[in-house]
Structures are given as structure tokens and as C-alpha cells.
């Protein structure tokens, strides 16, 4: 079953997993409101979506700003004629030992990875309730939100927090026909993992690239994950085949963490 004619907001969609999700949702029939700070890159992704025959618009937004996230959902409805799905994908990573984390770094990662998700949940719920519509709220987690990783302690803690938000929101919003779930990627070949590899190298005393190689070697399916792998599962969460699923945080990692 398709999501043809649905309108989806995807945060952090200028590149990487977010771009992959936006393109897959468009391929499956949705019109997309792209949300990110990088407006020029967003315009490029919007053009890719239009070439697929779907509508697209771009909205520059800092997800740490609650009012801007609400404005993004309003903009999607105005420009695309409705609102049905939000994918709270925007996120950052900090790669260093916990004892070296500064107050500023702690505040920044929680504001983006946790507060940004909460504002997305709030904005989507408010719009869907106002329109008396069912809908899907989908948020980014990680394998690091199931099992904490050394050097990624702050990132892991934010992703554990998103699990709590997902479970609570699912219970609160179920009476309104709103499903709330999250997706947990593994070792994805994106800029974020390049940053993780570079951050681990000096702390572990290994060459750049070694952390990446060792991590990929531990994947049961034998290869690094692609944004398209994540996007295919997010499309399932966005569509009607997942209508009886809510409050779940599902691993899609090729076989790294088993839960």
C-alpha cells in the first residue's frame, strides 16, 4: 500500500539519511517539505524530488527553536496542501570520552537530538489534532540508543532519551489515531560516520579509517549500511502497512545489535 498524496516533513534532509528518506518517500508517492539549516542543499534535493513527479518545498529551520519547527509544519500545509507525516531525522554526534565533554557540547547535542524531536512531536500532534486527521510521527534513534558505545556516550544518551519520548508519545496520541515510532540505524556510510571515525582515531591511537573498518567488519550482513536501507524502513513506518504498530524503536542495522 502506498503513501501517494500524503504530505511529509523531513528534518535534516539536506544530505545523508535525511535526503535518502525524503527521496524514498517521494518515490513512494508523498509530497515532501524538506527542513534543514542548509537551504541551498535543500533546494537541490527539492529539485530531485520534482524530477520524480512529486511536489517539494524547502524550509530553513533550526530544530532547536520550537517556534521554527511549528512554522515548518505550517509551511508544509500551506505549500503542499496538507500534512500527514513528520520524520524527526535531524541530529548530530559528538565523538569523545565523557570526561572531556563540555557544558556547551552537552547542551548543543541535547537541544538538537532530543529537544528537536520533542518539538517535532508537538508540532505534528498539534496540526493533526487541529485537522482531525490520523498521521505518523517517526523519529531517528540509533543502535547507540540500544547499547551505549564508548566515545559516543553523549550521542547514546540522547538516543536513549528519544526512546522514552517515542513510547510516551505513542500512548498519549494513540486515541487520536497518531502512530509514533522510531528507527535505529547502524553503521551508515554518511558524513556522520566519517566524523566518528576521525574522532576515534586519536583517542584510540589508531589510523584514520580503522574504526570504520572494524565496525563494518562486525556487521552480520557483511557491508556498511546505506541511507537507502534506512529510508526503505522509514517508508514502511510512514505507510498504512504499519498502522497497527506504535511506540516501537526498531533496529535496522544489518545485524550488529540484537534485541
Of 92, 208, 97, nearest to 159 (Cα)?
92
CATH number for 118: 3.40.50.720
Looking at residue 16, what is its pLDDT? 97
Same domain for 181 and 218: no
pTM: 0.96
Beta strand 178-185 with 85-88 is unpaired
Residue in 75, 155, 183, 236 annotated catalytic: 155
CB atoms within 10 A of CB 60: 15
pLDDT tens over the chain, length 259 residues: 589 999 999 999 999 999 999 999 999 999 999 999 999 999 999 999 999 999 999 999 999 999 999 999 999 999 999 999 999 999 999 999 999 999 999 999 999 999 999 999 999 999 999 999 999 999 999 999 999 999 999 999 999 999 999 999 999 999 999 999 999 999 999 988 888 878 888 878 889 889 889 899 999 999 999 999 999 999 999 999 999 999 999 999 999 999 8
Residue 207's domain spans which residues? 187-224
Which residues lie below 8 Å from residue 195, measured CB to CB, with a gap of 6+? 93, 95
Q: What are phi and psi of 31, to 5 degrees?
A: -95, 145
Same domain for 196 and 128: no
Residue 183 is among the residues annotated as catalytic for this protein: no
Looking at residue 217, what is its pLDDT? 94
Question: Is residue 40 included in any domain, yes or no?
Answer: yes
Q: Are 56 and 64 within 8 A, CB to CB?
A: no
Same domain for 97 and 220: no
Q: Are 233 and 248 within 8 A, CB to CB?
A: no
Same domain for 19 and 62: yes
Looking at residue 205, what is its pLDDT? 84
Looking at residue 85, what is its pLDDT? 98
Same domain for 165 and 87: yes
In the chain, the number of structural domains is 2
Same domain for 117 and 68: yes
Amino acid at each position: 500500500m502506498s503513501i501517494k498524496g500524503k504530505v511529509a516533513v523531513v528534518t535534516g534532509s539536506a544530505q545523508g539519511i535525511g535526503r535518502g528518506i525524503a527521496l524514498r518517500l517521494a518515490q513512494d508517492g508523498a509530497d515532501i517539505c524538506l527542513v534543514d539549516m542548509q537551504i541551498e542543499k535543500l533546494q537541490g534535493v527539492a529539485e530531485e524530488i520534482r524530477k520524480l513527479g512529486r511536489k517539494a518545498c524547502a524550509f530553513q529551520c533550526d530544530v532547536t527553536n520550537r517556534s521554527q519547527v511549528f512554522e515548518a509544519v505550517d509551511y508544509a500545509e500551506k505549500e503542499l496542501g496538507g500534512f500527514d507525516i513528520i520524520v524527526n531525522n535531524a541530529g548530530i554526534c559528538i565523538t569523545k570520552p565523557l570526561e572531556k565533554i563540555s557544558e556547551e557540547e552537552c547542551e548543543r547535542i541535547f537541544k538538537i537530538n532530543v529537544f528537536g524531536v520533542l518539538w517535532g512531536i508537538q508540532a505534528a500532534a498539534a496540526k493533526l489534532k487541529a485537522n482531525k486527521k490520523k498521521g505518523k510521527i517517526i523519529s531517528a534513534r540509533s543502535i547507540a540508543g540500544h547499547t551505549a558505545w564508548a566515545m559516543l556516550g553523549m550521542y547514546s544518551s540522547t538516543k536513549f532519551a528519544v526512546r522514552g519520548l517515542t513510547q510516551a508519545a505513542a500512548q498519549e496520541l494513540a486515541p487520536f489515531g497518531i502512530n509514533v515510532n522510531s528507527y535505529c540505524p547502524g553503521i551508515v556510510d554518511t558524513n556522520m560516520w566519517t566524523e566518528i571515525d576521525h574522532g576515534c582515531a586519536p583517542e584510540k591511537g589508531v589510523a584514520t579509517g580503522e574504526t570504520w573498518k572494524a565496525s563494518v567488519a562486525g556487521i552480520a550482513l557483511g557491508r556498511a549500511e546505506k541511507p537507502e536501507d534506512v529510508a526503505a524502513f522509514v517508508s514502511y513506518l510512514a505507510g498504512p502497512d504499519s498502522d497497527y504498530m506504535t511506540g516501537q524503536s526498531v533496529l535496522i542495522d544489518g545485524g550488529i545489535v540484537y534485541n
